[in-house]
Structure 1
Amino acid sequence: MKDEQDSGGRRRRDERVTADAPPGGVERTETLERLGTPASVGASDGRNDHPGPKPDADALADLYRTVFEAADDGVLLVDVAADAFLTANPRACDLLGYPDGELVDVSPTTVHADDVARYREFVANALRAGDGWTEELTCTRRDGSTFVAEVAASVVDVRGRTYLLALLRDTTDRRAFERELADRWLAVDAATEGIAQLDVDGEFTYVNGAFAALFGYARDALLGQGWQGLYDEATQERFSNQTQPALFDIGSWRGEAVGVRADGTTFPHELSLTALDDGGVLCIVRDVSERRRRERQLEALSEVSGYLLTAGSTGEIGEIAVAAVEELLGYSLAGVAMYDAETDSLELTALSRELDRVIDPLDPPDSFDVEGTEVGQAYRGGKPTVTLVGEDDPLSQTPITQVLLVPLAEHGILGVGTYGDEGFDRSDVALLEVLAANVAAALGRAGREAELTAARTELAAQRDELLEQRDAQRTLLDVSALAREVVDGVVDARSRADIERVVCERLAASELYHFAWIGEYSADRGRIVPRAGAGVGPSLLDEIADIVVTEGARGAADVAVETGEVQVVRGIGEVDRLHEPVRREALERGFEAAIAVPLSYHGRDYGALVVVAGREDAFDEYELATFEMLGDLVGFTLRAENDRNLLYADSVVEVEVRSTDRSSFFVDAASSLGCRMRFVGIVPTDEGHQKLYALLEGATVDGLAEFATGMPHVRAVEAIDENAVDSLVVVTLSGGSMTYDLTERGAHILDAEVDSTGTRLRFEVPSRDDARSVVEAFLDTYPDTTVVAIREQDRPVRSLSELRGQFLGSLTERQRTCLTSAYLEGYYDWPRRSSAEEVAARLGISSATFHQHVRLAEEKLLRALLD
């Protein structure tokens, strides 16, 4: 029998199964026996006849009836003309929810009531095709529920009448599996790391967007191509001779390589390879260009410190500082203003060429009053300050929009400007602070050398002072180099334990310090619990862990964690501020000073770092600034590691709590107003606040806003949509909320609701250790709280096809057509290649209809993405 393919891509056969029968047709109530057994259907040509005795008609009828009743698929015989089922096997009755025998009393159009027109089109196609016509149709069960089934129909001629023999298969499980695969692949496709898969021939079978972007190609351009085009010959040879043998020997390989982009430029990256069972390879790529850039900046900063040491005047130091800002950090707008005590003003002494060019037409002032200008205010404040260029500022006539002012101690100020919407990267600000500290030290040295030249009679005393300053500067260089080494180690660490170990080991290995340890405050134990240490034995850490802390016996580490401020301990007179085991160990090694640095980021405490030194001049203002920066960096890195673990973890810890603590704004509001709020989303703002969206029931938005008046943490209460049942409201907070505190500590809110009886919260964190620390801090802040459950939850990985199904599965065929046409015809390009009217005309619909379909489709996509 020859197969043909119709225009819709379905398979059909050009023959029908027929049987000779007397005319007259069959009534709806006739059974299989009256229609005739399979033994009477079809005519044999003898080619497939088996030798030997054949079963008689009754035996063969029993055999086919058994197969009919035991089939895994639903089998139905349909009289199309009468819109009736002549017979149905038990599986068909089970799928459609009817007792055996009752399905024949139901019409096919009733079963397909949700889409009768499509059913009739299916019947027409099946009658034309004759055999094997297959489509997916929506079926309605007896109880009114629906499901999508795969229906295969063939034409059967029995006794002169035409029927359809239909096979019915439920596709619910298969469609769910396809959606799950789509979700997993979409997660991989959206990953920020480059991910690709090679087949056994080394050709790409899959690349995600991040991988293609790293190498500068379109994704389709890489598929089917070999990996060799992404690396130079030397790297290819190393992969062939070293990497591939190791990969297929142990199953994985990890290292660094230099990739070649489409434009010929190169970039360093970390490369992780995993051998697959089918002989292919999974590749994960992480660009380390930014890390290398920071390393080069730190190395260059150390060289700049050397140049500053040899500078002979304040003017030369200013020029070096401006050049360093341009060359190290890439900011072309930079200037230095020095403080003049006689005029009590800041005098411009050095300008970058770009800044000089931009402000030259303005006839700007050569000096800034310390009291009446923003530059002077930043100088007096002693901390880095970012100012926006206002309308009354002379710089408003230039493209400059923001200026960062970094004080150079008492010597002056370093200013850096940006254009447009450019801001200042946090790491750049930290490097500018270190540079400013080095410049300030150089200016101090230059000033002292000038005084030494002017007062030759005090040459001996000044010479000693100069030697001391040089020693201090050398120490500062050593501290800067050590800080760079610690930063390098922290950046490369891949877990919290690694981060803490690297910090302690690098500090303790330096000649500047005796030993270092990191501890974390435990609320249930009421003391600092050591997590890592170096330069001391484990017995000292055990002794610290066994300390019973009282109000009168708190150590510098306890104070640093509680206040969030660096604590410096100097000399024998203050040694009692250290815990007894630390004090004893420090005195035995020649103690002179110690520092306790809080490790925190955005309100989340990660403990404290304690470092003990044997130098009298240890932890001066410059060294203190370095340790403050180091504390911020470690806190930031620990927070980033927490967030990364939460994002990529295969399992997370889910915590459920209930609370009646009215120190939380929402609990207080719900109790006072007798209302109910169900939270639907949280959005952070650039100012460090949170916009919390909630559905409000039982109170008005005006009533909630009036209740919040005067509360320090509530910035705004705004109505998004008000109605009689529930109103959508957004509350902007800077604290004073359980959801705010949890998210600032790295937790992810799953759901939350509050009413007059209290609040119920569910949130997740990466590990049980994180759950313990977050819950301890939460209970400490909100004591009227009960922990309902703490459970570990697996997080399934979704495929690309599943995610695509999740996003697109809810669209109607017309919505998908309009949305796809709009995208392909450039409706979403800027500028637009096609207008709405043009796309609508090509689709043969009105512009209003096109807008309606596109808007509904966009709403569904956004709901699937954001909900």
Structure 2
Amino acid sequence: MSDAAATVVGDFPCVLIVGESSSADDAMDALAGAFAEQSLLRARTAAAARERLAEREVHCLVCPFDPDERSDSPSLLERLADRADDVPIVALADEVDADRALEAGASDVASDASATVLRTRVRNAADRERYRRAASAAAQRHRAILESADAVVWVVDAEGTVEYATPAVESRLGYTPTELERTALTRLVHPDDREAVRDAVATAVAGPTGTTERVRVRLGHADGTWRVATLTCTNRLADPALEGVIVTRTDAKSTADAGGPDAVRTGLDRLADPLFVLGSDDDVQYANAAASRFVRRFDSTVADDPLPPGVVLWDRLPDALGRSLSERVREAERTGSVTVFQTTAPSLEDPIAVAVHPGDDGATIHVRNRPAEAVETDRDRLALLESVVDAVDIGIAVLEGPTIRLANPALLELVDAASLVGRDLESVFDDDLAAAVLERADSPVVRWLDPVSGTLATEPPRPVDVSIAPLSPDFDADRAPSTADRTLCVVRDGAESSDGAASMLRRTTAALASAETPSAVRRAVVDAVGEWMGADVAVWYRGTDDLRPAATVTADYTDSDDASIEPPAIDPRGTRLEPILESGEPTVDDREAFTDVLARTGLRAERVLAVPVGSDGIVLATSTKPTAFDGIDGDGLEALSTATALALEDRDRAAALRTCRHERARLETVVDRDERLWDLGRSLLGAETREGVEERLCEGLVSLPLPAAADGVALAWVGRADDGRERLVPTAWAGRDAAFLESATVALDGSEEMPAHTAATTREAVVVDDLATDDAMGAETTDRAGEDSWRRRLRDRGFRSALSVPLTADEFRFGTLTAYATEPGAFDERTRRACAHLGTIAGAAIGALETKAALLADRVTELEVVCRDETEPLSSLAARLGRAIDIRAVIPRSTDGSTVYCSISDGDSDAIRDRAAAVTAVESVTVVGDGDDRTALEIVFAAPTVAGTIAAHGGVLRALEPVDDRTRLTIELGEPVDVRAFVRALERRHPGTELIARRTRERPPRAAGAIDELAGRLSERQRRTLEAAYHGGFFEWPRDHTGEEIAATLGISQPTFSRHLRLAQRKLFALLFDDAGEA
């Protein structure tokens, strides 16, 4: 039974719900299912709650917290916190008000929206308070007991300074506890004993918690006298309740005082042999009646009364006898062993046998008339038998009936008990084994050869094999025969037998089957090996080239626990482990074979067991016993190794299967998401209007799942850039709570630092993981009123994170795409990349639609731009020719180059062709027309030209003319194209570009109807092919160029040219002849 004090705690915790709001009523209903009826109390007001607290022992308070409650007076929670002392308070509040509730005095916060969370938190708070009060009451009770006890106890620190003294020091030593506190304990000790006290305290401090040292000293009293006492020093420095060394004073009493009841003294007086008990100063502390008669033989002055305590024995004996006894007493005290000798005296008729039994505080002298030789022979025989029994490494017990009368150390170790003498057999063996042993003890068979198997009554049960042999009665010439029924039991550890191995394998196999992880498998195996082998330490080392500890177990009888032992890694190369790992067979060796391994691990052992476990490593078990692991069943160890390897393979397969399933689910999610992105991208490219692109973008983004947010995107909207007013205007949205966007705008002048503003101005994606943080936008501003307003409006609608990406195409800024989610950190890196990709596609689609609209617009803006890029091919051509060039058409090639159809006024066509061909970037020049004083040329450029850049951004190059070291370009832009963005795009591609003139005019009227429909039906490649064929003279008669030649200028094959041309012609003729069929 444990000596620890029991703490009694009431059966029910008491919870008081305070408040008259509906949330308090809901909390009462929620808690009614988790607490007994008498455990729940209700108070409507703070005053009523105080009355309840005064009447009942309450372990937890529950009250609502209203953040909008009037600030001119304390809230209900604050009033309760002021009067509730240490009683914990669980506040009913939403997550957003949790911090304010804790600041107001709440111990914990729970939302009444979840009854389960509320019941759990209230139950935990009430139970903790209930046990805290019970533990506090128990500690106060223990201190009161110690204060009331008549025992002298000090608590000293590691240096021996008194920190506490019990009140008993005043009645026992004459000092008050206050006088002794903060003084050295050695001040109370005789100067000659102080060093011994210091050593005792130091030894106790140096040992682990619970180490005890005793020292016999002389203590000084307040009256100036010295009295002998025993000081017991116990190390409790690591105990948080004491944090010191406990020193207990025990008075030194004489044997006479400690003699016990008169019946004991009377019994000693009946002994026929003299018995003397001497103190440390050879003074008689006790002498029985025979001892008094023995002394009276030599000193007739001794009265018939017993020898009085305090006399010196040698003074009452003849000199020779006294001197002999004194020398033998000194010898016995010096050797610490019993001294037996034979002596005589003139007044004695026969020699006497004297036995001196030394002790710490004196000696006991036994005088016998029996010859010493007989006593010595019996003693030697008994000592020999005791040594043999104690040395046997097998448990031995002698029974008298069902009671144990003898048990050797090996049996005590098996049972894990300090003593077994006097205990019944049923308390050591299981019921079946005890019954079998008693049955065989009563059997007429003299000796049973086959043992009985069973288990010890230990936890866990330990298998044993017991051999039984009834003992014959002893006969001695000097004594009466013994008639007691005695039985010899030889107890062997069942783990060393085949039955023990089978039992261990069954238990371990069951543990392996229930282990869910490889670490649990390793732990079960080292537990089994440590228990089965009786090892001091068992360690599983993982790996083959570098063995690292993965699981460790220590025996219960060691001073260390599993966590305190962390052996280092081992390199098995060149050690005994290397061939063991190669062979895969369990091996037992002495310490010498594993010297290098033990030196690296720091383990102390006489025997080492090594059990390889497949390819996962090896289990090492060590023992300090020289005969450990003898008789171990090797087949059992191999079976254990095989079962463990299979279990590990099974766990590895299960882990690999879980990983594959997880990876498959992840890949399926990625594939599904990518397919959605792909479909959404195609849908954006297929939209016929900008509004269609924006609407499809918002709807598609809301439908996409988010890996980091279960609810996905809650709201997505597109803000269209209005560069004239420097604002973003929401034009499309999808999701919930979008009504506020109808009248909202975002300024681009820096007055509103919102994600959409930052994305539009920086043209980079912006992510806000938590809208509640102060630096959510990632930038510092001097005026955050607009930002705070937006963030507040978003948080009020339940949004917690945001993402915004720009919608751009080259230098053209079309707007932003912004998304909100209801969870913080909803937009991970993959989502950010996906949204940026969608933004790029949407920007390209909007740019293409804007370009198409510009080409078909009725109003055009004519720009005159100066280009200073000397490396630009068309500028180089104009400078080389020294005259203006009118551009008819620019047809992109499949490579980076293009084919330009242009006309040049005046001059010799051959000379113009030769000078044009000399330009570096020109691949070929062909004269395709010569008349009206103008030369028409087809020029194939190998490198990109400014005409391609202009066309890519929605413009049309009409003419260029060299002016000094510059080239002046005449460009037409459709109405929707932003002039500033267009010029910036030109300047970025061709540095030094400058706008010098800008005019707006109406585009010449053109035929509507069929022509517009034809433009809508032709693909881009079909239009380019038809245009190149027209300007290249393919339709002239005779033809200026063949189809193969024009295909070469376009960088395509002749069959591809013919296919595009035929398709374009079919669509044209279908419209011309009113054919409604599809081309």
Q: Same fold (TM over 0.5)?
A: no
Higher relative contact order (CA 8 A, sep 6+): 1
Greater Cα radius of gyration, structure 1 or 2: 2
Q: Tell me the TM-score normalised to structure 1 length.
A: 0.32
Q: Tell me the TM-score normalised to structure 2 length.
A: 0.26
More helix per residue: 1
